Amino acid sequence: SPLTQLISIFSPLQVLLVFAKEDSQSNGFCWACEKANYRCSLAHTPESALECFSEKHHDLVIVDHRHSRHFDAEALCRPDREEASVMPLINAGFNRRYVENANMMACYNELLQLEHGEVRAQFKLRACNAIFTALEQSQDAIEITSEDQVIQYVNPAYEAIMGYQQGELLGKEIIEVPKSEKNKPDLLETINTCIRKGKEWQGIYYAKKKNGDNIQQNVKITPVIGQGGSQRRHSSMARIHSMTIEAPITKVINIINAAQESSPMPVAEALDRVLEILRTTELYSPQLGTKDEDPHTNDLVGGLMTDGLRRLSGNEYILSTKQPHHLPSHLATPLSLNDIPPRIAQTMETEGSWDFDIFNLEAATMKRPLTYLGLKIFSKFGVCEFLNCPEATLRSWLQVIEANYHSSNSYHNSTHAADVLHATAYFLCKERVKQSLDPIDEVAALIAATVHDVDHPGRTNSFLCNAGSELAILYNDTAVLESHHAALAFQLTTRDDKCNIFKYIERNEYRTLRQAVIDMVLATEMTKHFEHVNKFVNSINKPLAALEENGSILTSPENRILVKRMLIKCADISNPCRPLELCIEWAGRISEEYFAQTDEEKRQGLPVVMPVFDRHTCSIPKSQISFIDYFITDMFDAWDAFADLPNLMQHLDNNFKYWKGLDERKLHSLRPPPE
């Protein structure tokens, strides 16, 4: 598009660092500039900064404000100090604070956020100015209307040719402007049909001037289709920043941010409130007013607008045909934390470490790692105390849940659930996460992780929909598996008092807990992946980066929901961030499960959902590279920025290089062949 062409002439970005002394922080930014392919200059005094700036007109200026004895950064940026100020010269303004962090990736993230946030928005605004100047100068009559055909703009040539003044036309619908009788009667309909299909229309059109004269015009009508919309990005290069800027809501937020720059105080403050609303998590669910309004309205709104998740009336589905598993008899024997066999207890000693080997536990427990790890982790978090339930109930519950995972699946078995539980518990111990979540959120997260894939058939949602499975019919092809995991979990839990861990809590507490568990299990659905990650970045990462005080960001109910969703999502697909050997094992297991699905699709003549996962042709390294590029990198960048997980990022980097290495050698297997 012309806009991107205009924008591209501004790249690479020019960055000016104003640092009294070079140190690890200025080096961090220098390296980050290099990584991002920006040009970077360094100035040590306000005077040299100004001189350098007037020469190069940098797009970004970073001023060191830590040592005010060297120079006063705020004064340098204050518009009223004309003589030694860069402020009057830069449009973007002095608009962000960066808290000292010399980590190159942190600097890099900051630069990218600035580029894809304010800087690009500024470029676009500048580009718009250029385009409108061109339109004003054009000899051709040009008219712009909105989608519903309200006139938004006419250029001077239009005014001259048609005899109207702009003011007479703006805001009017085009049908209100008199039309010539000389056109064929169905011409307008033909044009509209064409435009609605997104196609350009070109032809002869008779227009009526203001004075009533008809003139023949050679007209071209071009529909302008918004970017964003339903287009999906397929590039694996989508880094978090470019990805978020593509979401329409992010564009809106950036435009408003840019507009705030040049708005008077009351407008800027009003826009702040607009931003607050736009950043809320549930943009489309109306917030119900307090009870003192008209009761009819209250009931109607409550009855029609509240969905199943929030109503929580206990109307779980009854899955009539297949009987869920009951406790296998060999496991029904009492088992408590105190009498866990020593070999198993020993295997679990390193449970607090990220590098904990879940496959050891799988072997030691004869494929029942969830019950044992569950007992240990739930006790560590005081879940029984919170739920006020006997340990025996928790134990039975864990056993029933585990019995309903399919040990015949190579990936989606109870070892995966135990792995996700482990990751969840690990994340819950991170400082930022602890700051934002309440005890009930922690309990909900542990329960959600435990049940999140229960009764997984080892086939994907698309497979179940294509095959017309009972579950797909039951859940209308929408979030089929996730709905089933959540519903079945509650069914298994509440069906029998012996394993009903919710039996001893208050009704309201149960509702809150149930809602949180359902929300988290549904959040693992991958069609919503980008929505969850985007919301997290927009509502949490970005505001946290911009503010010093962050209490309210962390603890607002909306944001706690986002943190919980992100937490379980990251736990669910954390296998690429595990130590290499574990990561390889998981990759082998998921590939095998996908291969089995492809085999079955072929056998049954069903559409092959993921043709690359054909055991005869698949390159596992390539599939892992794509998975990491498309789903993992951005998400964990954001999660790491929040929860601080350098060890995971290190593993991820290492594992990615491992897959790249195999791929460069054109190997398709999990491991290189023996020398």
What residues from 168 to 207 belong to the interface with ligand AMP (CB under 6 A)? none
The verdict on 572 binding Zn ion (CB under 5 A) reads yes
**How far is residue 115's CA from residue 134's CA, in Å, rounded to a whole number?**
26
The verdict on 526 binding ligand AMP (CB under 6 A) reads yes
Q: Which of 65, 116, 412, 485 is catalytic?
A: 412
Provide φ and ψ at 573, rounded to 5°. -115, 45
Stretch of 298-306, 373-381, 572-580, 667-675 lying at the interface with ligand AMP (CB under 6 A): 572-580
List the one residue from 46, 117, 576, 621 that touches ligand AMP (CB under 6 A). Answer: 576
Sort residue 477 into left (φ over 0), alpha (ψ -120 to 50) or beta.
Answer: left
Residues making up the binding site for Zn(2+): 416, 452-453, 572
| Min separation Cβ 642 and ligand AMP, Å | 20
The verdict on 587 binding ligand AMP (CB under 6 A) reads yes
Cis ω on the peptide bond leading into residue 390 (within 30° of 0)? no
The verdict on 590 binding ligand AMP (CB under 6 A) reads yes
The DSSP-derived string for 531-590 is HHHHHHIIIIIHHHHH-S--HHHHHSHHHHHHHHHHHHHHHHT-GGGS-HHHHHHHHHHH
587 binds, among ligand AMP, Zn ion, none (CB under 5 to 8 A by kind): ligand AMP
410 binds, among Zn ion, ligand AMP, none (CB under 5 to 8 A by kind): none
| Min separation Cβ 420 and ligand AMP, Å | 7
List the one residue from 396, 524, 534, 538 that touches ligand AMP (CB under 6 A). Answer: 524
| Min separation Cβ 672 and ligand AMP, Å | 19
Stretch of 301-309, 398-406, 582-590, 650-658 lying at the interface with ligand AMP (CB under 6 A): 582-590
Local structure of 212: helix, strand or coil: coil
The verdict on 453 binding ligand AMP (CB under 6 A) reads yes
Residues making up the binding site for AMP: 412-416, 453, 572, 624
Tell me whether residue 422 or residue 542 sits nearer to ligand AMP (CB atom).
Answer: 422
- Please name the helix (run of DSSP H) or strand (run of DSSP E) that holds residue 15, with its range, or none: strand 14-18
**How far is residue 389's CA from residue 367's CA, in Å, rounded to a whole number?**
26
| Min separation Cβ 408 and Zn ion, Å | 16
Which of 244, 267, 243 lies closest to 256 in space, CA to CA?
A: 267
Under rule CB under 6 A, how many of the chain's residues touch ligand AMP?
13
The DSSP-derived string for 135-175 is HHH-SS--EEE-TT-BEEEE-HHHHHHH---HHHHTT-BGG
Output the six-digit token pair for 266. 């009351």
How many C-beta atoms surround the C-beta of residue 435 within 10 A?
A: 12
**How far is residue 368's CA from residue 179's CA, in Å, rounded to a whole number?**
78
526 binds, among ligand AMP, Zn ion, none (CB under 5 to 8 A by kind): ligand AMP
Q: How far is CA 413 from the centre of its chain?
A: 27
Tell me whether residue 246 or residue 453 sits nearer to Zn ion (CB atom).
Answer: 453
List the one residue from 59, 64, 115, 572 that touches ligand AMP (CB under 6 A). Answer: 572
Q: What is the dihedral of CA 182, 185, 188, 191, to 10 degrees?
A: -100
| Min separation Cβ 144 and ligand AMP, Å | 44
Those residues whose C-beta lies under 8 Å from the C-beta of residue 598, and which sit 6 or more positions away, are: 608, 609, 610, 611, 613, 614, 615
Tell me whether residue 456 or residue 535 sits nearer to ligand AMP (CB atom).
Answer: 456
Tell me whether residue 108 or residue 586 sits nearer to ligand AMP (CB atom).
Answer: 586
Place of tokens 């549904």: 522
What residues from 450 to 479 belong to the interface with Zn ion (CB under 5 A)? 453
Assess whether 412 carries a catalytic annotation: yes
Q: Are 319 and 486 in contact (CB under 8 A)?
A: no
405 binds, among ligand AMP, Zn ion, none (CB under 5 to 8 A by kind): none
Write the DSSP symbol of residue 287: P
Tell me whether residue 369 or residue 576 sits nearer to ligand AMP (CB atom).
Answer: 576
- Per-residue exposure over 494-509, b if at least 16 CB sit within 10 Å of its own CB, e if not: beeeebbbbbebeeee
The verdict on 525 binding Zn ion (CB under 5 A) reads no
598 binds, among Zn ion, ligand AMP, none (CB under 5 to 8 A by kind): none
The verdict on 575 binding ligand AMP (CB under 6 A) reads yes
| Min separation Cβ 82 and ligand AMP, Å | 57
Interacting residues with ligand AMP (CB under 6 A) = 452-453, 524, 526, 572-573, 575-576, 586-587, 590, 624, 627
Catalytic residue positions? 412
Interacting residues with Zn ion (CB under 5 A) = 453, 572
